[in-house]
Amino acid sequence: MPVERYNIVFAGELLGTSSAQQARQKLQALFKLDDARTAQLFSGQRVTVKRDVDLETAARYQDAFRAAGARAIIETASDLSESPTNVDHMSGSSTKADGDWGLAPPGAMLEEIEDRRPRISPDTSGLALVAGTNWSLEDCEPPPAPTAVPRTDHLTLEPAFEKQPKGSE
C-alpha cells in the first residue's frame, strides 16, 4: 500500500492572534527567508511551501505556521487526474475537491460507524499484587506514612543544678 504524501500550502491567511507584520517577521526568521521570498509568500496567492512530505513533517510545518500566527493548509500530493483530498488539521475538517463532502449542520444526527476490529483481552494471569497465595486485602494497603521527627538541633540542655566544688560545703 503506498504511503500518502502531502503538500503544505499557504495563501496569506492569518490567525486572529497576530498582525501581518508580526507573522511576516516570525516566518522570515523561522525559515530564514529574504525579503523577496517573504513578499512572495504574502502575495495573497496560493504558494506551495513544501511538496511531497509525510504527514508528520506536514503537521510540523503547519504547527510552525500556527506559532507564527499564520494558517497553512495540508493537501494530499496526488496526481492531478484524481480529485485531491484537502486535509486541514487546524479546523479538523476533510473535504474533497469535487465538493461532495462537507460538514454536517450543527445538531444534525450523525450515523454511527460500526467498529469491526476484534476485541483485545490482555492476558493478566501473570500479574499479582503480592507474592504467594496466602494474602488478604490488608496486604495491598499502602505502608503508613512516616512520622515526622521534629527538628531539635537548635535546642540545648542546661544543667539542672550546678556542681559545687568539693570541700566548699
Q: How confident is the model at residue 167 (pLDDT cuts 50, 70, 90)?
A: low
pLDDT in tens, 8-43: 888 888 887 778 888 888 888 888 888 888 888 888
Closest CA relative to residue 6, chosen from 96, 86, 66, 89: 86
Cell 494474602 locates to: 135
Closest CA relative to residue 28, chosen from 39, 13, 17: 39
| Per-chain mean pLDDT for the chain | 76
Statement: residue 156 has pLDDT above 60: yes
Between CA 53 and CA 72 the distance in angstroms is 14
Task: Give the pLDDT confidence score for residue 138 in this predicted structure.
Answer: 79
**Domain segments of the chain: what residues?**
9-96
Between CA 10 and CA 54 the distance in angstroms is 17
Average pLDDT over residues 57-68: 88
Strands (E), 15-105: 47-53, 70-76, 85-88, 93-96
Average pLDDT over residues 84-108: 52
The full length of the chain comes to 169
